[in-house]
């Protein structure tokens, strides 16, 4: 579902206020004007505020997400299982307070199989302008792993892709990346973010080579892999507004985790969260409302494939033998290839 366009006409915030406000017209002018000023100040301060749409904790993940047993379009050494298999094999596991999504760490991959069994989940809801806050205790780590928390629209790349947490072979820190259709580029030398942008700032998947996208690498090593897990994980947040996309990361014990993020508040105002790790400004160079359609949230864990299995990326990480051989024959190496997610809260304007 797309929460911007699904709202029936005439029920926007502005129009529901029309009834109660109509007495304004009969007030004496100074009073009406004072009220108008107060209202405009109010709407200015509310501009960046979002209200909670979903609070997804533990077993809710199995309700609010579909398990997708589909082939990996990026050619990963993976067999994505369906919901029944995921539950039977304990590759998804939920309690009141946690949701686990993991790869099989018991079996050798047999000849003829597509790859190591793992799970991909996709939110039933889709979002245009929104905020999503992920509280993650543990993420998959290790050679050959390619985990991702991301958002994607229809008819890729035309509906856009926002990679919030993604990487390969335990190489951190995290990079946040956009992938889009034509005509979406970022300023190569922008301020307003803590991270470091990659050389390629054209988000168009067909610009340059091999679908790099426009990427910003975070500076905190605890944003990815083993250091992330050693620190007890942390919080990831994304804001998609009409004029920008921002991504934040706070390690578990950071002193500057916003109170609304920590407490799972019913409303959030990302303008109060401080400088984001990644900042993708919209405007002339990238019309965010046009380049990004309604998007689903996806959490997946694949292996090897176009990125993690690339001989350079794999070897440079100090990983043994070849990626496929390692993934196929060493189930015990994948004991830590799991997500433990405490909560996901989504917010809409
Ligand atoms: C899993 O995640 C990666 C990283 O974002 C993505 O490129 C890949 O297409 C995904 N695979 C599937 C089947 O979703
Ligand atoms: C499934 O995984 C959870 C979490 O790792 C574990 O506590 C539980 O015992 C497992 N269940 C089975 C049947 O193995
Ligand atoms: C980026 O901007 C800074 C400050 O405006 C400037 O000093 C620097 O030379 C610029 N770098 C590039 C690559 O344009």
Q: Is 211 in the pocket of ligand 1 (CB under 6 A)?
A: no
In angstroms, what CA-CA distances link 276 with 71, 200, 256, 310? 34, 20, 12, 30
Give the chain's domain count: 1
290 HSE (CA, 13 A, CB side): 10
Cα–ligand 1 centroid distance for 302 (angstroms)? 7
Tokens of 88: 């039977």
Please indicate, yes or no, if residue 25 is contained in any of the structural domains.
no
Domain of residue 144, residue span? 47-348
Ligand 2, pocket-test mutation among 58, 61, 62, 93, most atoms within 8 A of CB: 93
The candidate with the shortest Cα–Cα distance to 51, out of 220, 265, 232, is 265
Please indicate, yes or no, if residue 255 is contained in any of the structural domains.
yes
Residue 256 CA to residue 259 CA, distance in Å, equals 9
Q: Where are the alpha helices (DSSP H) in 155-258?
A: 225-230
- Concerning whether 161 is annotated as a catalytic residue, the answer is yes
Q: Are strands 116-118 and 234-240 parallel, antiparallel or unpaired?
A: unpaired
Please indicate, yes or no, if residue 296 is contained in any of the structural domains.
yes
Q: Which residues of 190-203 are buried (b: 16+ CB within 10 A; e: fewer)?
A: eeebbbebbebbbb
CATH number at residue 302: 2.60.120.200
Residue 92 CA to residue 33 CA, distance in Å, equals 57
User: What pLDDT, on a 0 to 100 scale, did the predictor assign at position 48?
Assistant: 79
Please indicate, yes or no, if residue 4 is contained in any of the structural domains.
no
Q: Is 104 in the pocket of ligand 1 (CB under 6 A)?
A: no
Please indicate, yes or no, if residue 324 is contained in any of the structural domains.
yes
Q: How far is CA 172 from its chain centroid?
A: 17
The candidate with the shortest Cα–Cα distance to 299, out of 122, 71, 68, 108, is 122
Please indicate, yes or no, if residue 217 is contained in any of the structural domains.
yes
Please indicate, yes or no, if residue 18 is contained in any of the structural domains.
no
Whole-prediction pTM: 0.86
The residue whose CA has the least distance to atom 11 of ligand 1 is 72
**Mean pLDDT confidence for 265-277:** 98
Cα–ligand 1 centroid distance for 146 (angstroms)? 8
**Mean pLDDT confidence for 293-298:** 98
Please indicate, yes or no, if residue 330 is contained in any of the structural domains.
yes
pLDDT digits (tens, 9 = 90+) for 153-189: 999 999 999 999 999 998 999 999 999 999 999 999 8
């Amino acid at each position: 579902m797309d929460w911007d366009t699904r709202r029936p006409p005439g029920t926007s915030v502005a129009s529901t206020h029309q009834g109660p406000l109509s007495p304004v017209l009969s007030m004496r002018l100074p009073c009406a004007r004072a009220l108008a000023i107060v209202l405009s100040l109010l709407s200015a301060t509310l501009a960046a505020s979002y209200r909670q749409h979903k609070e997804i904790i533990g077993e809710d993940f199995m309700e609010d997400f579909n398990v997708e047993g589909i082939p990996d379009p990026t050619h990963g050494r993976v067999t994505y299982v369906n919901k029944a298999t995921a539950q039977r094999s304990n590759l998804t596991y939920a309690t009141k307070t946690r949701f686990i999504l993991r790869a099989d760490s018991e079996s050798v991959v047999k000849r003829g199989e597509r790859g190591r069994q793992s799970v991909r989940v996709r939110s039933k809801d889709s979002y245009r302008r929104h905020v999503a806050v992920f509280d993650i205790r543990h993420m998959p780590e290790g050679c050959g792993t390619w985990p991702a928390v991301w958002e994607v629209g229809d008819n890729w790349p035309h509906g856009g892709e926002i990679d919030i947490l993604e990487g390969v072979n335990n190489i951190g820190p995290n990079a946040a990346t956009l992938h889009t259709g034509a005509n979406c580029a970022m300023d190569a030398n922008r301020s307003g973010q803590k991270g470091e942008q990659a050389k390629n700032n054209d988000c168009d998947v067909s610009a340059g080579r091999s679908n790099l996208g426009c990427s910003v690498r975070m500076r905190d090593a605890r944003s990815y892999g083993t250091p992330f897990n050693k620190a007890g994980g942390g919080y990831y947040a994304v804001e998609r507004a009409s004029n920008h996309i921002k991504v934040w990361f706070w390690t578990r014990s950071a002193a500057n985790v916003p109170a609304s993020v920590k407490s799972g508040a019913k409303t959030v105002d990302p303008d109060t969260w401080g400088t984001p790790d990644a900042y993708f400004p919209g405007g002339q160079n990238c019309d965010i409302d046009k380049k990004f359609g309604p998007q689903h949230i996806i959490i997946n864990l694949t292996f090897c494939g176009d990125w993690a299995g690339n001989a350079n990326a794999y070897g440079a990480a100090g990983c043994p033998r070849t990626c496929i051989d390692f993934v196929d024959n060493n189930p015990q190496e994948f004991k830590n290839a799991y997500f433990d997610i405490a909560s996901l809260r989504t917010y809409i304007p």
